[in-house]
Structure 1
Amino acid sequence: MSTLGALSMAVVATAPMLVAAPAAAAPLSIGGATITRTVAQADGVRDVYVRSTAMKAEMLVKVLPSRVNAATSPTLYLLNGAAGGYNGSSWFDQTDVIKFFADKNVNLVVPVGGVASYFTDWRRDDPKLGHLKWSTYLTKELPPLMDAAYKGSGRNAIAGISMAGTSVFQLSLDAPDLYQGIGAYSGCAMTSDPIGQAFVKLTVARGGGNTLNMWGPSTDPEWVRKDPYVNAEKLRGKAIYVAAGTGVPGQYDNINAPGIKGNVTALAERIAAGAVIESATNYCTQRMQTRLRSLNIPATFRLNYPGTHSWPYWQDDLHNSWPMFSTALNR
């Protein structure tokens, strides 16, 4: 399922996921968050349930612990897009992360939820999306908890797709010392100019939310404070990988491509809506490239390749950016 299709279905499931499961042995609590139970899946993935003080809810986190025998392991956080990882829209559903990371010393942590939230702390509760304090949860509560549970080394990287391709920069701005590496795949690293604001508002509205409850009206200074383009200087010292296609159909935009598998409707959606969104993110990404170059901040950019707003290209980006992440995490 495409990210666009999954977002439409995810609107009915914006509340944090609650799933019946056997109780864990003993709760692990650190700094306002508690692992209440863990359920092992057959593929090595663990469904970890976290009671978050910030979110006022039990949150689901899917974790693939390092399968390399090491004293400690760094952590790579992978954020899903605007569909929140529901209805087949997760990294574990759409990519080969289980196979790709089988021989790599890294813990993968994929939070579930965050539909149309931009993974930020919202100013007010939203009638549709609820109580959202994602930045506090992801940067203050979850990392020490994951390190304690999975022998974390304290070194972290974060990557995200689409909506989360903006969020990964914003989370780094919120927690300057937390991440050594950032990967933004088909995101728009601009939020305060008219085009960036329109992109954010459209994404949130598709999930049923209202950006007035997130950062206030368009003139509110919070839109500028959350803008990675404006605040790019604060990204200095991070390992950065940014990618976006042109929107023109590419190698994965055909009837036999991954995620399509003969589905004509899915292909039409990928080529139509996926092309428009990707061309917009390409514009933002080119602007970000110019901005970082003007500040002499090193970054790797993959731009102007034929491709739409879809998972097969993001899998390629994860593969391509892993050497950069590995170096940053183990430096």
Structure 2
Amino acid sequence: MVRVAIGAIAALISTSVAIPVGSAAPVDPIVTGNSLLHAVTAPNGSYVEKATLEDDRHLTIYVHSASMNKTVPLQVQRPADTSVPRPVLYLLNGAGGGEDSATWEAKSDALEFLADKNVNVVSPVGGKWSYYADWRAPDPELGVNKWQTFLLDEIPPLVDAALGSSGLNALAGISTSGTTVLALAEARPGMYKSVAAYSGCAQISDPIGYQFVKVTVNVWGGGNVDNMYGPQGDPMWAEHDPVLHAEKLRGTTLYVSSGNGLPGSHDTLTDSHLQAQGPGGLANQMVVGGAIEVGTNFCSHNLANKLSELQIPATFNFRPNGTHSWGYWEDDFKASWPVIAPPIGL
């Protein structure tokens, strides 16, 4: 059965057709071997290059992005019950884009938590230090970045066809992707019924937010932030600032969390979530991770103030402690589930 399924997906042809989400076609085409991908491409010609089944619940779908002219893996966890169309949770990794070891799968039990839930979980692998944005120019170090196009236009029709989805989507991200998920929701209102941002900085065009992005891209990523939205003060920064365009979040169910940078329950030598074990790893988490969380906490409070001013409801979890680290994100993800699950029918 696995070989049949893989063969069905690999047989994708480059003909673009419209197939209604949740239609009468098989609701689990990958498992049945009757993949709808035989006749599906994205509007711009992006297509599934190949797919591999890792086991009966996990697969990797390799999507060739037309906008970036490269193939990007999507790691997928299937629902507990695939007898009817199920929603999709797009779960974004942080600054490393899933290309490093700091991923939801490696650093948290999020996938185990979701194992008995009736939801497709999709995580792209790629886009390190890009903020999953559409950059204005190629970068000598980070290449061509058209990740907003990839996430909004290229993969949704392919994912929906491959997984027989219900057409209801949720979106969640940590750190830099905490900025991204809000920007994506604003760029395509209504596409995501619910959005969760954990320790993200929602503002990017003011001096503090801009410096946050610049340090991430230039210092840690080795890129040039001018290739993203231009030099500081360029109108593109304001055009993509989630706080400035918060009105576009109206109607989306929102969950936003942040610590305040002070050491908490996960800032100990015995905590299994430490990015690097030992005293040095803990010190880095408390000093660097503490400082970063102070910044994201500032941004998140500004978003809360803006949404309150606009009378847009949102759930905010401002923890009384906690650094910029995986133990807290694992906790926050579980705390957010009762908020983000109902809008997608769960």
Residue number in structure 2 paired with 1:288? 303
TM-score by length of 1: 0.90
* Alpha-carbon distance between aligned partners in 1 of 2:81 and 2:105, rounded to the nearest angstrom: 19
* Alpha-carbon distance between aligned partners in 2 of 1:327 and 1:168, rounded to the nearest angstrom: 18
Residue number in structure 2 paired with 1:5? none
Instruction: State the aligned residue count.
Output: 310
* Alpha-carbon distance between aligned partners in 1 of 2:56 and 2:131, rounded to the nearest angstrom: 29
Residue number in structure 2 paired with 1:221? 235
Residue number in structure 2 paired with 1:13? none
* Alpha-carbon distance between aligned partners in 1 of 2:41 and 2:205, rounded to the nearest angstrom: 35
* Alpha-carbon distance between aligned partners in 2 of 1:90 and 1:44, rounded to the nearest angstrom: 19
Q: Quote how far apart the aligned CAs of 1:305 are.
A: 2.3
Residue number in structure 2 paired with 1:264? 279
Q: Quote how far apart the aligned CAs of 1:40 are.
A: 2.0
Residue number in structure 2 paired with 1:135? 148
Residue number in structure 1 paired with 2:257? 243
Amino acid at match of 1:207: G
Question: Equivalences for 1:162-177 in 2 at 5 Å?
Answer: 162-177=175-190
Q: Quote how far apart the aligned CAs of 1:97 are.
A: 2.3
2:204 is aligned with 1:182: no
Residue number in structure 2 paired with 1:197? 210
Q: Deviations over 1:44-63 (max 9, x none)?
A: 32121111101210101101
* Secondary structure at 1:38 match in 2: strand
Residue number in structure 1 paired with 2:76? 63
Residue number in structure 1 paired with 2:30? none
Q: Deviations over 1:127-185 (max 9, x none)?
A: 00001100000000111111100011111111100000001011112212311111000
Residue number in structure 2 paired with 1:298? 313
* Alpha-carbon distance between aligned partners in 1 of 2:67 and 2:338, rounded to the nearest angstrom: 34
Amino acid at match of 1:77: Y
Q: Deviations over 1:74-115 (max 9, x none)?
A: 100011111111231111111112321122111000011111
* Alpha-carbon distance between aligned partners in 2 of 1:312 and 1:74, rounded to the nearest angstrom: 26
2:112 is aligned with 1:112: no
Residue number in structure 2 paired with 1:80? 93
* Alpha-carbon distance between aligned partners in 2 of 1:224 and 1:216, rounded to the nearest angstrom: 11
Q: Quote how far apart the aligned CAs of 1:25 are.
A: 3.6
Q: Quote how far apart the aligned CAs of 1:255 are.
A: 0.5
Residue number in structure 1 paired with 2:139? 126
* Alpha-carbon distance between aligned partners in 1 of 2:111 and 2:303, rounded to the nearest angstrom: 31
Q: Quote how far apart the aligned CAs of 1:262 are.
A: 5.0
Q: Deviations over 1:186-241 (max 9, x none)?
A: 00000111101111111111201111111011121111111111111111000000
Q: Quote how far apart the aligned CAs of 1:264 are.
A: 2.1
Do 1:74 and 1:154's aligned partners in 2 also have CA atoms closer than 8 Å?
yes
* Secondary structure at 2:135 match in 1: coil
Q: Quote how far apart the aligned CAs of 1:304 are.
A: 3.5
Sort the Cα spacing of 1:304 and 1:103 in 2 relative to 1 into closer, same or farther, 3 A.
closer
Q: Deviations over 1:247-269 (max 9, x none)?
A: 10100000010223852221111
Sort the Cα spacing of 1:124 and 1:178 in 2 relative to 1 into closer, same or farther, 3 A.
same
Residue number in structure 2 paired with 1:145? 158
Residue number in structure 2 paired with 1:252? 266
2:37 is aligned with 1:26: no
* Secondary structure at 2:228 match in 1: coil
Between Structure 1 and Structure 2, which shows a larger proportion of strand residues? 1
Do 1:164 and 1:184's aligned partners in 2 also have CA atoms closer than 8 Å?
yes
* Alpha-carbon distance between aligned partners in 2 of 1:262 and 1:219, rounded to the nearest angstrom: 40
Do 1:75 and 1:108's aligned partners in 2 also have CA atoms closer than 8 Å?
yes
Amino acid at match of 1:179: Y
Residue number in structure 2 paired with 1:51? 64
Structure with max Cα Rg: 2
* Secondary structure at 1:252 match in 2: coil
* Alpha-carbon distance between aligned partners in 1 of 2:339 and 2:319, rounded to the nearest angstrom: 20
Of 40-49 and 141-150, the range deviating more from structure 2: 40-49
* Alpha-carbon distance between aligned partners in 1 of 2:164 and 2:55, rounded to the nearest angstrom: 21
2:113 is aligned with 1:100: yes
Amino acid at match of 1:102: A
Residue number in structure 2 paired with 1:7? none
Residue number in structure 2 paired with 1:16? none
Do 1:70 and 1:105's aligned partners in 2 also have CA atoms closer than 8 Å?
no
Do 1:282 and 1:304's aligned partners in 2 also have CA atoms closer than 8 Å?
no
* Secondary structure at 2:269 match in 1: coil
**% of aligned pairs identical?**
44
